[in-house]
Structure 1
Amino acid sequence: MGVRVPRITLNADFGDESAFGELSLLSVGYGLHQAWVYATMFGTASVFGPMPCFQGIYGSSVTIPYLISTIVYVFAMLLIAATDQRFLKLYTSRKLLCIGAALSCAGSLLLLAVPFFGTPLAETASGIMTGIGSAILIVYWGTAFARTDSASIVLNTAIAISIAIGLFATVLHYAPFPVSAIAIACVPLLELAILLKKTPQPFHERDEVPIFKPLPINRGRFVVRFGAPVLVLGIALGMLRTNSLQNLVMKTSVGAQPMLLLAAGCATVLVLVTIMALGGGDRWSRFFQPLVPFIAVTVFIMPLASTDHAALTNVIVLVGFLCFESLMWIFFADLSQRFRLSPILVFGLGRAILAVAIMFGALVPVALASYAHLLPFGEQALVILLLLVIVFAYALLPREREIESIIMPCPPGQSRVRKLRAQRGIPARRWQAQLRRGQGHGGP
């Protein structure tokens, strides 16, 4: 006799026909992925053993595997975005998902060979494998999030980022080497188990037309209006991420772990309460309006977080970083869901631009290390640069009406939805049934 396990979900309803989203395994799975990214890319020397790296101000450092992985990741994501609909069957297949998880796991394990052998071959192979593997996993996570409604995107993202920083800090401080490295290397396999559950059977196997075939857009205008703010925001995120993960989390003692968990919890509550207070996820511009100034304040007090006995300052800076991290993922997922754009295109292009910007932002503290004494404000020049970048990026953020203008209009008298249904030859009843099943929100 089989045992049936009940399905438990959390759904907060505030009345007035509005819900605050449904918490699901997406939060756990994406949290695991982000923890893997933090550990393999920014905590490499601490988790996988000492290895050559470039040192920067505020305790920052950049390793060779991270640089190689980022470059490969960027090219992989751009290729995926460019071949979006052409290789749609491949990008919705579970075989590719398994390959991505296997490459990420094997590439992480190769980092263990670097401290012992010190060979450039191990660093290069690890960078290539983790770059390709993480690119594949991100596309599947982006597609999974784009299938949900806006409120659920916000809820699951906020919880996921908190899980990520908590897991990263726990492995960093409590798991001894090489247990920490092996544990992190196995994380992509846990992601695979969740993604297999969250990824439906491919559309071509169901003998259906893909629902998330994108509405026609002006790609040139979309790249400019979408890519420009992402590039600038990514630079700020890269500098803040490097400082938060390498200066605050790694140098914090084991006894201060409750502080880190408190920071993660505060970040989650801050994001959720802000979105709820502003009327839900009806516009992504409302996500940024209150939180970007808060992030700027955390950047302003960042130099104080490096000093001893600055627990409260550390919490504030870490909360600002977690909110920033959450906002970027919410921006991509909500853009795909709201305007019925292909998440493969949005996440492929967006995450490629973001990765380049984050790498540049991570290298800025390294470059300033040799010239900080020549600058007018010394190391504080990094803070001033961050503030300027955030202000400039916020000014570049597109509004909803600008994205709507990029989507090519339908002929007069025919709605976009009707035209799309007519192009695919789907009967009206079948179309409405698919939308009621939740298949019209960016997913296959």
Structure 2
Amino acid sequence: MKLPHIKVEVEYREEETGAPGKVSPALIVGFGLHWAWVYLFMFNGQYILYPEADSMQLLLSATSGIFHAVALLLYAVFLKQARQLFDTLEHIRRNRVIAAGLVACATLLCMAGNAVPTGPLAALLFVAAGIASGVGSAMLLMSFGVSFSICDLPTIALCTALSIVVSALVFALTLIVSSVVAPVGALLCLVLPFAELLCLNKCSADLVDKLEFAFLTMPVRTASFAARLGVPSIIFGVLLGILRCCALTGPLLDVLLSEGSAENTFAFSTFAASLFACAALIMAMLTLRKSRNFAFRVLVPLIAVLLVTLCTPYGTDGTFRCFALFGSYFMLEACLWVMYADIAQSYRVSAFTTFGFGHGLLSAGSLAGFLMLQPGGLLEAVSAEPMMLALVGLIALTLGVATLPNGAEMRSTLIRGRFCPLLDDQTDLEELMSGEGAANEPSIEEAIAPMPSDKPTVSSAPNAIPEGAIPAAQESPEQKAGRFKRKCAAVADTFLLSRKETEVLFLLAKGRNSAAIQEALYISAGTANTHMRHIYRKLDVHSQHELIDLVESMVVD
């Protein structure tokens, strides 16, 4: 008997695989080092930096949380007024150095506070440490937000997942080393910000500094945008604060300390939880990459399951309880970071606005959750009652997911037909479009040969800018280059292209091929082709020739 031969063919389509582009190791390591410092400084400072001043933990955490949230919100609210702080690469790098210095200074202040007797002077030193750590960590976090916001969604998810493992590994190793030689833990806390700074400068040079439209973003209706993003951020933030506090304080910590295994248990449980969270996020990215907020659809049920298991006999084991709490914390934090970065890159909303409102309100909610568990707080009994912890966690997860914004709601917050709020006058436009560096860019007439167009003009599009007074034939090369960039920006606004798609559009309109785009934007061949297909589909064109015609037909000032 001869069995039929069945041949199975699988068609590989790059745009459906969600394959990430070139992943920046510097971004992964630097972001992981940032969170490792947060865990060491905020979570376990009483063991590493100031073991004799446990009473100051609440003061330090509250001060740092307040100033961290305020600093992030100030980025979003006063974006236009603060633009001189990041208008050049030199200023941006200077700000990062200041931020790393503040974070290192916070560590030194904590060590000094631990060396003096408990009293007003010690309290003053810990308050100063909280202020320095809150502001410095907010500045560094915002820099990472800018780098993440120009990546495609699969790359964002993969970098976030791997950075969780890096942060947990550094955290675990520092705890183990400091349990043997205590000063080494404090020394590592001093070194981490500067190692993070090196990684941040490297990933920014690869991903951000070469972009043409990095600061040309879509304006938003501030109140509506903050409400859409802020409500779930506050709810999830409260849960994060509760999980963080329950993992490292209360009855669990007392049990671990009595057994003399706190450092080893924290190290093992944290690293195991990070591997679990990393694998879950990567699997979510591979299976549900087309869905908005895909990470929540997979990871939130896993978080709920881990919280419920705390009510079972397994929840009485200290190691498993640490694993469940840390795993829930890592997965929820990763979901929110991916969402913020995806919103910033998909809709070209400023990273300062997105992470300012999003992570700023998340930090405020986290601080509120932490304070609710303190003696006399609203949820004081939660840390001692697994059933109550699971119930509060499930309620917060349900409310948070119910208030997550969908694509239509986010698009409704965008202001179409204008450039970025930073560019609210002609002087700003000329500085960006015809400033230093623009003179070296060829105009569209120089980049490609003129081609006849049979497509209708799009000068009536919602964001088309009125024709300028200077005829095109009389424009200088700098003015032509600026006008070309404004045409590309107008097309990107009209068809709502993402950040990376806008950069690819600019290079396509200049006549560049796929290889040149890959080199210029630090992306893989598959990612470049995927972006090109997405652009053609959104613009309803079928060739580079038609795309160039469309850009040429856009009437701008």
Task: State yes or no: 1:227 paired with 2:230.
Answer: yes
The CA deviation at 1:145 is 0.9
Question: What SS does the corresponding residue of 2:374 show, helix, strand or coil?
Answer: helix
Deviation at 1:198, TM superposition (A): 2.2
TM-score, length-scaled by structure 1: 0.82
Shift of 1:263: 2.5
Moved more, 317-326 or 104-113: 317-326
| Structure 1, 88-97 or 290-299: larger mean CA deviation | 88-97
TM-superposed deviation, 1:258: 4.7
Letter in structure 1 aligned against 2:63 = I
CA drift of 1:20 comes to: 2.6
| 8 Å Cα contact 2:73-2:360 kept in structure 1 | yes
* Contact 1:161-1:325 at 8 Å conserved across structures: no
Which amino acid is 2:100 matched to? Answer: A
> What 5-or-longer segments of structure 2 have no aligned partner?
1-10, 419-456, 469-481, 489-502, 510-516, 524-530, 532-557
Q: CA deviation at 1:315?
A: 3.2
Q: 1:128, CA displacement in angstroms?
A: 1.4
Amino acid corresponding to residue 153 of structure 1 in structure 2 = I
Instruction: Say whether the 8 Å CA contact 1:372–1:379 is kept in structure 2.
Output: no
1:238 and 1:306 map into 2 onto residues whose CA distance is 23
Give, as a single letter, the amino acid of the residue that structure 2 aligns with 1:433.
Answer: L
Q: CA deviation at 1:396?
A: 0.5
Who is 1:357 aligned against?
Answer: 365
In structure 2, C-alpha distance between the alignment counterparts of 1:83 and 1:237, rounded to whole Å: 27
CA pair 241-212 structure 1, distance change in 2 beyond 3 A: same
Query: In the aligned structure 1, how far is the partner of 2:68 from the partner of 2:76?
Result: 12
- Alpha-carbon distance between aligned partners in 1 of 2:341 and 2:229, rounded to the nearest angstrom: 13
In structure 1, what is the equivalent of residue 170 of structure 2?
167
Q: Is residue 432 from structure 1 mapped to residue 437 from structure 2 by the alignment?
A: no
Correspondence for 2:191 among 186, 209, 233: 186
Where in structure 2 are the equivalents of 1:299-318 lying within 5 Å? 299-302=307-310, 309=317, 311-312=319-320, 314-318=322-326
CA distance in 2, matches of 1:378, 1:202: 46
Structure-2 residue corresponding to 1:99 = 98
SS at match of 1:398: coil
Aligned partner of 1:294 among 296, 302, 305: 302
Q: Displacement of 1:418 after TM fit? A: 7.2
Larger radius of gyration: 2
Whether the 8 Å CA contact 2:207–2:521 is kept in 1: the answer is no
Higher RCO structure, 1 or 2 (CA under 8 Å, sep 6+): 1
Deviation string, structure 1 residues 345-372 (Cα, Å, up to 9, x no partner):
1111222111110011112222467986
Q: Give structure 1 stretches of 5+ with no counterpart.
A: 1-13, 55-60
Tell me: CA distance 1:107–1:407, structure 2 relative to 1, closer, same or farther (3 Å).
Answer: same
Decide whether aligned partners of structure 1 residues 425 and 164 sit closer, same or farther in structure 2, where only a CA change above 3 A counts. Answer: same
Between the aligned partners of 1:97 and 1:422, the Cα distance in structure 2 is: 40
Matched-pair identity in %: 25
Helix, strand or coil: the match of 1:216?
coil
Structure 2 CA distance for aligned equivalents of residues 293 and 422 of structure 1: 54
CA deviation profile, 1:173-226 (whole Å, cap 9, x unmatched): 2223121012112211011111112224999x99x9753322122111111111
- Structure 2: which amino acid aligns with 1:223? A
Deviations 1:281-331 (A, max 9, x none): x33322211211211222223356996646455434432221111111111
From 134, 138, 141, give the equivalent of 1:135: 138
| 2:9 paired with 1:16 | no
1:332 is matched with which residue? 340
Displacement of 1:108: 1.3
SS of equivalent to 1:261: helix
Of residues 414, 417, 421, the one that matches 1:407 is 414
Q: 2:220 aligns with which of 212, 217, 228?
A: 217
Deviation at 1:227, TM superposition (A): 0.6
Which of 61, 81, 89 is equivalent to 1:66?
Answer: 61
| Partner Cα distance (1:40, 1:285) in 2 | 30
Paired with 2:34 and 2:465, the residues of 1 have a C-alpha distance of 34
Whole-angstrom distance in 2 between the partners of 1:272 and 1:136: 28
What is the number of residues matched between the two proteins?
Answer: 416
**Structure 2 residue corresponding to 1:262, chosen from 262, 272, 280:** 272
* Counterpart code for 2:413: I
Which residue of structure 2 lines up, in the alignment, with residue 320 of structure 1? 328
